[in-house]
Chains A and B, each alone.
Chain A
C-alpha cells in the first residue's frame, strides 16, 4: 500500500500538440481543456443568471413598468425568472466553476499526474452537463414558459401542471437538473478515484493541497446527499407526467416528503460549494502571506467534521413547515454546531495572515473580500438556525440576503479569486491590474449595497416570493420602496462592473504580459511545469518531498520551498 518509491522516474515526453480545432478544443479528453469548457459554460450561465436578476429586480423596484431590454414582466415570467436565476446560479454557475472547472484543472496538476484516471468519462460528464444546460434553456421556450416553482420546487405547486401552469417547463426543469446531477456524479467519481490512486510518488495524505482535499470531500458529500433528491425527482416526475400522488395530500401523498428529500441534498449542497471556495482561499492566502498555512491538519479534520455534520442540519429549512418542535430543537443544535468548524477554518486563515508578508495582489484582494463578506453571511445564519427567530424571519428577504451573503462570496468572489490566481497558469499571461482593481471594487461594494438593504426590508416583513409590493399597502411604504430601488440600482452597477472583467479576461488571453512558470512563487505542483501546461502536464514524472505550504522556511535562500524539490 502507498509505497513511497523515490527512484528516478521514467521520462515521458509530452505529446506534441496536433489535431484539428475540434479534436483539440471540443472533443478533447485533456483535463485542462475540459476544465476550461466547464469554466466558460459556467461563466456564460452566470451572466445569464445575473441578467435574470436584473430583470426581476427592476420589476420589484418599478413594478409594472417595462424593463429596458426585456419588456413588461408578467407574474408568470417573474416566477420563472426567479426560479431559473436560483437554479442556474447553484447548478450551472457555482458547481461547474468551483467543482468541475477547478477540480478538473487543479487535481491532476496538484497531485503531479498527467490526467484524470478516466479521461473519456470526464469528457462525457462535460457533454452531459452541456446537454443539461441546453435542456434548461429550452424549457424557457416551450408553451407555458419555464418552470416557476422556485429552485426548491416545493409541491403541491410543482407537482401538477394544472397548478403551476407550466406543464412542459416543470418536467424539463426536472430533467435538466437530473442530467446535471448525472454529470457531476461522473465527474465526482473521477475526482475521488484520481486522488485516491494517482498521486505522485511521495505524496502522502498530509501533502495534498487543501483545495484538492476540499473539492474531493465536496464530491463525496455531493454523492452521499444527492441520492434522495434523485429518488424525489423520480417521484416528482411521476406526479407531473403520470399523475401519481406522491406529493398530493388530497390523494394520500405528503408534500412535506419532498421538503425532506430536497433539503437532505440542499443543505449539504451549500457545503459542496463552500468547501472548494474555502480551499481556494486557503491556497491564495498562504501564497500571498508567504506563510505556512496555519493548522493544516486542523483544517483538514474540520472539513471532514463539516461534511459529516452537514447531513444533520437539513430540517432547519422546515421550522415553519409543521415539524415536531422537539425535532426543531435538535436541528437548531446541529445547525448552530456546524458554525463551529467553519468559524474555526476562518480563524485558521486569519492566523495564517497574522504576521505574514502580505502583498495585495488581485487574487489576495478577492480572497480577503471573501473572508469579510462570508463572515456576514455566516453570522446572519445564526438567527435563522435558531428556530425561535427563524419562525419570524422565515421566507423573508432576511433569509434571501443571508444566503446571498454566503453564496455570492462562495461562487462569485472566491470564483473570481480562483480565476485571477490560476489565470497565468491557464493561459500563460497575466491579467491587467488596473482593470482587475476596477472589477474588484465594482463588484464587492455594490454587492454589499444590494443585500444590506434587503436584510432591512426582510426584517420589516418583505416576503420573498412577491411579484409586486405595490399590491400590499403596509409593504408599499416609500421608505421600504426606496431600499428596494437602492438594491436594484446596486444590482445594475454590479452587473455593469463585470464588463471590465470580461474585457480583461479575453484581452489578456492574447495581449497580456507573458507569465513565468511560477509567477506567484508558490510551492504546489501546478507551478512546477510549463505555463500553460502541455498535454500530459509534466515533462517527466514528478516526485513529492514535503508538504504543500513550506513558505519562509528559516535557512532557505528563497522564501518558498516547492513540493517537488529534492531536499
Chain B
C-alpha cells in the first residue's frame, strides 16, 4: 500500500478519495480485465459451440504445432514471474529493479511473438491458411487477437518501465502486471483449446 499512499498536491479530490479502499487505478484495471474477459469469452464460446458440432475439427487441430504452443506457454508463464518480481521491487520502492524486471518481461513477450511468427510461417507453408476452413479462421483470429494484446502489454510495460526507472508512478508496475497476467491467462485457455484437444 505504501506506493499508493503518496498523493501529489495537484491531485484532484476525486483521486484523493478512496471510499472502496482499493486504489482507483487498480479498480479501473480490474474493470478493463472484466470487459476483456467477455470479449475473449464470446470468441471462445463461439469456437467451442462450433467445435462440439464438428468432430472433424479434431483432425484439423492435430496440425497445430503443439511444441511451439508449449514453448510459448512456458515463455509466458516465466514472463509473468518477472512481472511479479517487478511488482515486488515496486512495493519496496526499488524503481530501478522494477524497471529491470519489466524489461525482462518485455523481452519474453518478444520471444513469444517470434515463436508465434515462426509457427504461423510453418503452418502457412503447409497450406493451413486463414481461409482453409472455419477451424483455421478461429485459430488465426483467436491467437492473432491474443498476440495483439501481447503487443499492447509490451508497449504499456515499456512506458511504465521508463517511468519506474526514474522512480515515478511506481503503482503502475502493479497495474501493468495485472494486465500481463490476464494476457497470460487467456493463453492458458487458448493452448488446450487449439493445440492439445485433438
Question: Do these two chains really belong together in a complex?
Answer: yes
Q: Per DSSP, are chain B's interface residues mostly helix, strand or loop, or mixed?
A: helix
Question: In the assembled complex, which residues on chain B have CB atoms less than 8 Å from the CB atom of A193?
Answer: 24, 27-28, 31
State whether A246 touches B137 (Cβ < 8 A). yes
Measured CB to CB, the closest approach of chain A to B187, in angstroms, equals 17
Kindly state the separation between the CA atoms of A185 and B41 in the bound complex, as whole angstroms.
17
**What string of 1s and 0s marks CB contacts (under 8 Å) between B4-48 and chain A?**
000000001111011111101001100110111111111101100
Assess whether A197 is interfacial by the CB under 8 Å rule. yes
List the A residue with the shortest CB-CB distance to B57: A252
State whether B137 touches A227 (Cβ < 8 A). no
Number of chain A residues whose Cβ lies closer than 8 Å to a Cβ of chain B: 50
State whether A227 touches B22 (Cβ < 8 A). no
Cβ contact of A113, chosen from B14, B18, B27, B34, cutoff 8 A: B14
Question: In the assembled complex, which residues on chain B have CB atoms less than 8 Å from the CB atom of A185?
Answer: 35
Interface hit among A53-61, A218-226, A471-479: A218-226
Kindly state the separation between the CA atoms of A212 and B20 in the bound complex, as whole angstroms.
17
Kindly state the separation between the CA atoms of A3 and B166 in the bound complex, as whole angstroms.
34
List the A residue with the shortest CB-CB distance to B133: A252
List the A residue with the shortest CB-CB distance to B21: A1
Question: In the assembled complex, which residues on chain A have CB atoms less than 8 Å from the CB atom of B27?
Answer: 192-193, 196-197
Question: In the assembled complex, which residues on chain A have CB atoms less than 8 Å from the CB atom of B20?
Answer: 1-2, 196-197
Q: Per DSSP, are chain A's interface residues mostly helix, strand or loop, or mixed?
A: helix
Kindly state the separation between the CA atoms of A108 and B46 in the bound complex, as whole angstroms.
39
Question: In the assembled complex, which residues on chain A have CB atoms less than 8 Å from the CB atom of B18?
Answer: 197
Cβ contact of B41, chosen from A117, A228, A234, A243, cutoff 8 A: A228
State whether B134 touches A228 (Cβ < 8 A). no
Assess whether A254 is interfacial by the CB under 8 Å rule. yes
Assess whether B131 is interfacial by the CB under 8 Å rule. yes
State whether A117 touches B130 (Cβ < 8 A). no
B contact residues, range: 35 or more
Measured CB to CB, the closest approach of chain B to A18, in angstroms, equals 16
Using a CB-CB cutoff of 8 Å, which residues 419-445 of chain A contact chain B? Answer: none
State whether B131 touches A226 (Cβ < 8 A). no
Kindly state the separation between the CA atoms of A69 and B39 in the bound complex, as whole angstroms.
43
State whether A253 touches B41 (Cβ < 8 A). no
State whether B141 touches A113 (Cβ < 8 A). no
Assess whether A230 is interfacial by the CB under 8 Å rule. yes
State whether A199 touches B34 (Cβ < 8 A). no
Measured CB to CB, the closest approach of chain B to A441, in angstroms, equals 41
Question: In the assembled complex, which residues on chain A have CB atoms less than 8 Å from the CB atom of B31?
Answer: 188-189, 192-193, 223
Q: Given the interface contacts A189-B32, A193-B24, does A254 sit within 8 Å of B14 by beta carbon? A: no
Using a CB-CB cutoff of 8 Å, which residues 96-128 of chain A contact chain B? Answer: 108, 113-119
State whether A197 touches B19 (Cβ < 8 A). yes
Residue among A190, A223, A231 facing the most chain B CB atoms (10 A cut-off): A231
Assess whether A12 is interfacial by the CB under 8 Å rule. yes
Kindly state the separation between the CA atoms of A261 and B18 in the bound complex, as whole angstroms.
36
State whether A252 touches B141 (Cβ < 8 A). no
State whether B130 touches A244 (Cβ < 8 A). yes
State whether B130 touches A227 (Cβ < 8 A). no
Kindly state the separation between the CA atoms of A443 and B160 in the bound complex, as whole angstroms.
53
State whether B19 touches A196 (Cβ < 8 A). yes
Using a CB-CB cutoff of 8 Å, which residues 222-249 of chain A contact chain B? Answer: 223-232, 234-235, 238, 242-246
Q: Given the interface contacts A189-B28, A196-B27, A234-B141, does A113 sit within 8 Å of B42 by beta carbon? A: no
Measured CB to CB, the closest approach of chain B to A440, in angstroms, equals 36
State whether A231 touches B134 (Cβ < 8 A). no
State whether B14 touches A238 (Cβ < 8 A). no
State whether B17 touches A199 (Cβ < 8 A). yes
Q: Hey, which bits of chain B sit against chain A, CB under 8 A?
A: 12-15, 17-22, 24, 27-28, 31-32, 34-43, 45-46, 49-50, 54, 130-131, 133-134, 137-138, 141, 145
- Name 17 interchain pairs, CB-CB below 8 A, sorted by A: A1-B20, A115-B13, A118-B24, A119-B12, A189-B28, A197-B14, A197-B19, A197-B27, A199-B17, A223-B34, A227-B41, A228-B38, A232-B42, A235-B141, A244-B131, A246-B134, A261-B46
Known: A114-B14, A197-B19. 13 other contacts (CB 8 A): A116-B14, A119-B12, A189-B32, A189-B35, A190-B28, A196-B27, A197-B22, A198-B17, A228-B46, A244-B137, A246-B137, A254-B50, A257-B49
> Closest 4 interchain pairs by CB?
A227-B38, A228-B42, A231-B42, A231-B43
